[in-house]
């Protein structure tokens, strides 16, 4: 059983690697970004609220995000483990996740951080925007999201590093190469 997080800046390949890790380890991948986008597309009340923040490149408020994650982690398909992608992004969310897991007498096994150079990420995300037409991927918004990542999420990374469960992997390269590095890093982390 594996309970883990994947963390990294926007465009670092979290979603792609999360799918591959999920397949190989047989755990469910939970992406807060996908849930937000589905709500935006469905024009749900949560989606309307989330879209305001997403279009500006801002994080959706903790109050909305935390409830969604708690509800999702209470579903039956996470009993054999899970991979959270996109949460927690702030130290307050780390504390909230700790409480969710403690309530279920659980803990995280590994936190995987994908690392990448900001300029490489901007280039990747602009390319993705052309392919997919995502309204939240223009250069100004991308750079703002990267700034937010550095300001807020790096504190999350530091917190997990202090706990000794952080594993860093270079997210640049061919997808299969990155996956090989990721799976090796998870194997080593679980053996430690």
* Residues recognised as catalytic: 14, 89, 128, 134, 145
Is 93 annotated as contributing to ligand binding?
yes
Is 36 annotated as contributing to ligand binding?
no
Is 53 annotated as contributing to ligand binding?
no
Residue matched to tokens 């970004």: 33
Nearest to 163 by CA among 37, 5, 2: 5
User: Cβ contacts of residue 53 below 8 Å, gap of 6+?
Assistant: 59, 60, 61
Q: Is 145 exposed, middle or buried (0-12, 13-18, 19+ CB in 10 A)?
A: buried
Is 14 annotated as contributing to ligand binding?
yes
Cα-Cα-Cα-Cα dihedral sign, residues 67, 132, 5, 146: negative
Is 81 annotated as contributing to ligand binding?
no
Is 106 annotated as contributing to ligand binding?
no
Is 173 annotated as contributing to ligand binding?
yes
Is 61 annotated as contributing to ligand binding?
no
Is 52 annotated as contributing to ligand binding?
no
Is 181 annotated as contributing to ligand binding?
no
> Using omega within 30 degrees of 0 as the cis cutoff, is the peptide bond preceding 88 cis?
yes
Binding-site residues from annotation = 11-16, 32, 37, 58-60, 86-89, 93, 128, 134, 145, 173
Binding-site residues from annotation for AMP = 32, 37, 58-60, 86-89, 93, 134, 145
């Amino acid at each position: 059983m594996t309970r883990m997080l994947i963390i990294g800046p926007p465009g670092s390949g979290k979603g792609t690697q999360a799918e591959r890790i999920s397949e190989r380890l047989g755990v469910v991948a939970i992406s807060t970004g996908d849930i937000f986008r589905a709500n935006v597309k469905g024009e749900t009340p949560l989606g309307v609220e989330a879209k305001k923040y997403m279009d500006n490149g801002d994080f959706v408020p903790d109050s909305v995000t935390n409830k969604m994650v708690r509800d999702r982690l209470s579903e039956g398909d996470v009993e054999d483990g899970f991979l959270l992608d996109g949460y927690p992004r702030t130290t307050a969310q780390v504390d909230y996740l700790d409480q969710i897991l403690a309530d279920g007498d659980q803990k995280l096994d590994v936190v995987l951080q994908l690392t990448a150079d900001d300029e490489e990420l901007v280039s990747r995300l602009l390319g993705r925007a052309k392919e997919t037409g995502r309204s939240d991927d223009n250069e100004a918004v991308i750079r703002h999201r990267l700034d937010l990542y550095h300001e807020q999420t790096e504190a999350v990374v530091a917190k997990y590093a202090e706990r000794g469960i952080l594993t860093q992997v270079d997210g640049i390269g061919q997808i299969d190469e990155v996956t090989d590095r990721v799976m090796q890093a998870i194997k080593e982390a679980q053996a430690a």
